[in-house]
């Protein structure tokens, strides 16, 4: 299908069709058929973008075995993806403004193809690191690209829903990837995973070349000093990602981790210091340091930390009970449906005059869901977690749309130049919040598992008649395979220790669930008190921003 809005056609945009800001596509009045195609392509791109991370998370263990990686090596694969994904949204935003939307599309599609093409050759660990780093770049661009396509497929007054839907569908792709992964690895060949990713990227490239986005305006966005501050920020964030991921694997007392953390603080601080005193900064540090935006970032990071319970707690609990991905297909299908419901309901219930309510609801749901899981045991199965984990999956994405809306309102009321700062704050709070959540929960779980194991070990004594009788039964059960009585007794003792360790692990997960529930409940109570106070006064925390936007719209109809 030809691009009707390309400059070569001589198409002249009407006033309401002009791009909202440099770097964004125009919004022509498309025929209904073309709108449908834009919308469907946007849905596809959002899912493909989410799969870049979802398939990695779902199959990291299989990849670790296939490439013969240590846990530390596998951790660096995760770091490679997150360090590029966290920062590239800032660079890609400015790239769109400088070089135009079509060059942005070509760059994102090239990164996507390259990342998935490299993995087809099974070239080993180092190539996997490169591929995952490029995947982080591609995923960051695909979420934006999906939003643009979805917005083109919706009426003018509904286009913000396209932006929110793109973010929500990216989150849906993570549990969906876990649900379909056992089918991809049914014959034990991980190459099927790489083939699927490459096939999806080929289709994506074909679709965006068949139906182009309308062109947009460009401005001179980059300055020479950006070449100093952005690399410093990117390296600092990368070191922070490495600290958070490798800290829970190698443990926090590893000497080089302290150096990485110190270097990240210095680099990020230096980048912000330079930006603070620039005449035309890339990042509006004074605005980013304001009370409202700090609260916004901390709230987003807190909810991401709390929802880490799902990726670490519930998944780890099911693994500790002996379940594998093949037995969890239905479980992850339930989480996929709950995540999709959260994304859609966030759009349907979006109210610019009350954007705090969804976050409040999400915190309450997380608290209830976490407390429901605190009674897990050795016989806990996926069915026991359907309700609680579906609640948390719903909450994890339900808060995101309204929160994005709040950040956009705050940024746009200040001016388009503040959008890149908002993009940076939101992206970093979500990525680093998720990594920090898993790191903190992992450390807490390790300490609690050791404490429970010491308690259980103190209650196990061969002098106890019940314990001695149990050891005798275990030893007798192995009489057919182990002839030596001493070896049978030793094997029975080792089995008891393993069972005690497994029980301690599960008890520690219960402690994790309790902590998450308690934190969510405290955050819920604090936010509820503030929300009630504002409602009684008839005060909208975003009233000033909404008024500023209305004035801007009146001045530029």
CA atoms of 293 and 525, how far apart (whole Å): 21
| 233 domain residue, yes or no | no
CA atoms of 321 and 496, how far apart (whole Å): 16
| 437 domain residue, yes or no | yes
Number of folded domains that form the chain: 2
For the residues 127-149, what does the mean pLDDT come to?
82
Question: Among 188, 222, 256, which residue terminates a domain?
Answer: 222
DSSP string computed for 255-290: HHHHHHHHHHHHHHHHHHHHHHT-SS-SS-HHHHTS
Whether 385 contacts 316, CB under 8 Å? no
Q: Which residues contact 128 (CB under 8 A, 6 or more apart)?
A: 63, 67, 77, 119
| 391 domain residue, yes or no | yes
Q: Tell me: the pLDDT tens digits for 173-198? A: 888 888 888 887 777 677 788 888 88
Q: pLDDT class for 134, splitting at 50, 70, 90?
A: confident
Q: Tell me: the pLDDT tens digits for 306-358? A: 777 777 778 888 888 777 777 888 888 999 999 899 888 888 887 777 777 88
The answer on 336 and 188 residing in a single domain is: no
The answer on 201 and 55 residing in a single domain is: yes
The answer on 447 and 344 residing in a single domain is: yes
The answer on 301 and 165 residing in a single domain is: no
| 2 domain residue, yes or no | no
The answer on 426 and 317 residing in a single domain is: yes
Structure letter (DSSP) for residue 188? S
The answer on 428 and 357 residing in a single domain is: yes
Q: Tell me: the pLDDT tens digits for 205-239? A: 888 888 888 877 777 777 788 788 888 888 888 88
Give the lowest-confidence range in 283-292, 382-391, 492-501: 492-501
Question: Among 222, 249, 264, which residue terminates a domain?
Answer: 222
| 241 domain residue, yes or no | no
Report the pLDDT value the prediction gives residue 494, as an integer from 0 to 100: 59
A 10 A CB-CB count for 8 gives 7
| Torsion, CA 102, CA 152, CA 40, CA 329, rounded to 10 | 90
Look at residue 9 and tell me whether its pLDDT is greater than 50. Answer: no
| 143 domain residue, yes or no | yes
The answer on 456 and 376 residing in a single domain is: yes
Whether 128 contacts 137, CB under 8 Å? no
Choose between 399 and 457: higher pLDDT: 399
Look at residue 399 and tell me whether its pLDDT is greater than 60. Answer: yes
What mean pLDDT is reported for the chain?
Answer: 78
CA atoms of 506 and 316, how far apart (whole Å): 9
Q: Which residues contact 122 (CB under 8 A, 6 or more apart)?
A: 191, 194
Look at residue 38 and tell me whether its pLDDT is greater than 50. Answer: yes
The answer on 161 and 81 residing in a single domain is: yes
> The domain that contains 48 carries what CATH number?
1.20.1250.20
For the residues 513-538, what does the mean pLDDT come to?
85
Does residue 396 come out as left (phi exceeding 0), alpha (psi in the -120 to 50 range) or beta? alpha
Burial of 82: CB neighbours in 10 Å, binned 0-12, 13-18, 19+ = buried
The answer on 303 and 213 residing in a single domain is: no
Choose between 458 and 34: higher pLDDT: 34
The answer on 336 and 196 residing in a single domain is: no
The answer on 208 and 294 residing in a single domain is: no
Question: Among 201, 222, 243, which residue terminates a domain?
Answer: 222
Look at residue 555 and tell me whether its pLDDT is greater than 60. Answer: no
% the chain with pLDDT above 90: 3
| 145 domain residue, yes or no | yes
Choose between 43 and 12: higher pLDDT: 43
Q: Which domain holds residue 405?
A: 280-556
Look at residue 244 and tell me whether its pLDDT is greater than 50. Answer: yes
% the chain with pLDDT above 70: 83
The answer on 493 and 378 residing in a single domain is: yes
Report the pLDDT value the prediction gives residue 69, as an integer from 0 to 100: 77
Burial of 345: CB neighbours in 10 Å, binned 0-12, 13-18, 19+ = middle
Report the pLDDT value the prediction gives residue 549, as an integer from 0 to 100: 60
Report the pLDDT value the prediction gives residue 484, as an integer from 0 to 100: 55
Report the pLDDT value the prediction gives residue 473, as an integer from 0 to 100: 59
| 74 domain residue, yes or no | yes
């Amino acid at each position: 299908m030809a691009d009707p809005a390309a400059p070569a056609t001589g198409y002249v945009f009407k006033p309401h069709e002009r791009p909202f800001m440099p770097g964004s596509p125009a919004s022509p009045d498309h025929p209904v058929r073309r709108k449908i195609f834009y919308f469907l392509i946007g849905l596809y791109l959002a899912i493909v973008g989410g799969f870049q991370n979802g398939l990695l998370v779902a199959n990291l263990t299989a990849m670790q075995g296939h490439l013969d990686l240590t846990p530390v090596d596998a951790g660096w694969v995760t770091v490679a993806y997150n360090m590029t994904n966290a920062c590239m949204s800032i660079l890609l935003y400015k790239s769109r403004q400088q070089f135009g939307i079509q060059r942005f599309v070509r760059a994102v599609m090239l990164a996507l193809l390259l990342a998935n093409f490299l993995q087809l050759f099974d070239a080993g660990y180092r190539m996997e690191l490169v591929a995952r780093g490029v995947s982080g770049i591609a995923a960051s661009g695909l979420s934006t690209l999906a939003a643009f396509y979805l917005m083109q497929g919706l009426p003018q007054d509904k286009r913000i829903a396209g932006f929110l839907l793109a973010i929500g569908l990216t989150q849906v792709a993570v549990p969906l990837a876990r649900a379909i992964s056992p089918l991809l690895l049914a014959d034990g060949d991980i190459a099927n995973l790489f083939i699927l990713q490459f096939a999806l990227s080929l289709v994506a490239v074909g679709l965006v070349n068949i139906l182009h986005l309308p062109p947009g305006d460009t401005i001179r966005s980059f300055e020479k000093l950006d070449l100093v501050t952005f690399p410093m920020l990117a390296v600092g964030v990368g070191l922070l990602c490495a600290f958070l991921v490798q800290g829970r694997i190698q443990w926090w007392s590893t000497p080089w981790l302290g150096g990485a953390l110190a270097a990240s603080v210095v680099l990020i601080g230096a980048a912000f210091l330079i930006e603070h005193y620039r005449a035309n900064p890339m990042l509006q540090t004074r605005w980013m340091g304001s009370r409202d935006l700090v609260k916004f970032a901390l709230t987003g990071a807190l909810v991401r930390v709390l929802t880490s319970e799902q990726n670490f707690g519930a998944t780890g609990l099911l693994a500790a009970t002996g379940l594998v991905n093949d037995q969890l297909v239905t479980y992850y299908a339930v989480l996929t449906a709950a995540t999709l419901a959260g994304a859609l309901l966030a759009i349907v219930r979006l109210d610019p005059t009350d954007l705090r309510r969804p976050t409040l609801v999400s915190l309450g749901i997380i608290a209830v869901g976490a407390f429901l899981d605190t009674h897990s045991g050795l016989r806990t199965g996926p069915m026991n977690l359907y309700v609680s984990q579906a609640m948390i999956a719903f909450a994890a994405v339900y808060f995101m749309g309204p929160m994005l809306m709040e950040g956009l309102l705050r940024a746009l009321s200040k001016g388009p130049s503040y959008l890149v700062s908002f993009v940076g704050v939101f992206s970093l709070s979500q990525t680093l919040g998720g990594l920090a959540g898993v790191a903190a929960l992992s450390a807490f779980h390790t300490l609690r598992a050791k404490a429970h194991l010491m308690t259980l070990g103190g209650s196990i004594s061969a002098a106890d008649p019940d314990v001695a009788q149990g050891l005798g039964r275990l030893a007798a059960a192995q009489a057919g395979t182990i002839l030596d009585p001493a070896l049978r007794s030793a094997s029975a003792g080792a089995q008891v220790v393993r069972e005690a360790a497994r029980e301690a692990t599960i008890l520690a997960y219960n402690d994790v669930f309790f902590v998450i529930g308690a934190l969510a409940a405290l955050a819920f109570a604090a936010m509820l008190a503030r929300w009630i106070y504002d409602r009684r006064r008839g005060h909208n925390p975003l009233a000033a921003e909404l008024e500023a936007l209305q004035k801007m719209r009146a001045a530029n109809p």
